Amino acid sequence: MKKFGKIMGGIFLGLVLIVGLALIFNEPIKAYLVQHNAQQKMENLTKDQVKQNNLKDGDFDFGKVKEIDASQVVKTSLQNDANVLGKIAIPAVNLKLPIVKGLSEASLSTGGGTMKSDQVMGKGNYALAGHYMTNKGALFSPLERTQLGQMMYITDLTNVYQYKITYKKVVDPESVWLINDVSGQQLLTLITCADGGVNRWCVQGNLVQTEKATKENLAMFE
C-alpha cells in the first residue's frame, strides 16, 4: 500500500507540474499556434480559393466577438473553417497575416477579419478587425507599434494595394463611424483592442498605389 501511495503521489505531482507549466506557458503556446495556423493559411492560399471564399457567407455580428482563448485556437488549427480572402503585411512592425471573411471565432483566431459584408479591396473603406494578444508578434498586436507614414499592404493575389498610415489613435468602442466609407477616399482601417479591452486602437491609411501581383511584390507577405 505504501508503494502504491508513493506511485499515486508521484502521478499527482506530475499532473500538478504539467498543469502548472501549461498555465505558465499558456500565452506563448497560444501565440505559437496562432502564428503557425496563420502561416499555413497564407502559404496554401490560391487565387481560386480567394474567388470561392468571396462567394461564401460571413458572420459580421460585432456582438458575438469574444476574447480569444486556447480552446478556440486549437479548434481553428484542426479545422479548415476560416474563409481566407487575401493577405495583409505591415513590414515596419513585421505584421503578416491572412485576411479572413467576417468576425467569427475561426476568422479572428486566424488573422484580420473583414468588418463589412460588401467591402472590396482597393475601394471605399476596407476595414479589418483583429485580436490583440500579449505576445507582440501575434495577430493585430503589432498595430500598437505602428507610426504615421509607414506603409501597409493588402493583396487578393491578383493585385497588391499599398496604403500610407495617416491616422492612429486610441478610440472608444462606440466609434464605429471609423469604418464607414468616406466620399472620394480609398482607406484601409485596422481595429484592435487597447487598454486591456476597454478601448480600441484604430490605424488608418490612404491608398497610394495599386499594382498587379507579381512574385516580387508578393514576397513581402511571406
Which residues, 6 or more positions from 71, have their beta carbon under 8 angstroms from its beta carbon? Answer: none
Tell me how far apart the alpha carbons of residues 59 and 68 are, in angstroms, rounded to a whole number.
16
pLDDT at 135: 60
Tell the residue number behind the cell numbers 505531482, with chain if given. Answer: 13
Catalytic residue (choose from 188, 193, 202, 203): 193
Plot region of 160 (φ>0 → left; ψ -120 to 50 → alpha; else → beta)? beta
Catalytic, 202? Answer no
Write down the pLDDT at residue 126.
Answer: 98
Through-space distance between the first and last CA atoms of the chain, rounded to whole angstroms: 59
Catalytic residue among 106, 131, 154, 163: 131
Confidence category of residue 105, pLDDT binned at 50, 70, 90 = confident
**Span 194-211, average pLDDT:** 93
Sign of CA dihedral 203, 41, 136, 18: positive
Domain count along the chain: 1
Residue 46 cell numbers, joined: 490560391
SS3 153: strand
Angle value at C-alpha 36, between 53 and 156, nearest 5 degrees: 30
pLDDT at 12 over 50: no
- From the list 132, 133, 100, 99, the residue with the least C-alpha distance to 27 is 133
Per the CB < 8 A criterion, the answer to whether 204 and 189 are in contact is yes
Residue 17: what pLDDT? 47
36 is catalytic: no
Give per-residue pLDDT as tens, 28-73. 777 777 887 888 888 989 999 999 999 998 888 877 777 776 666 6
Q: Which of 88-97, 111-120, 191-200 has the lowest mean pLDDT?
A: 191-200
Residue 55: domain span: 2-221
| Rounded-to-integer distance, Cα 114 and Cα 103, Å | 7
Q: Is the pLDDT of residue 219 over 80?
A: yes
Tell me, what's the pLDDT at 77? 65
CATH of the domain at 209: 2.40.260.10
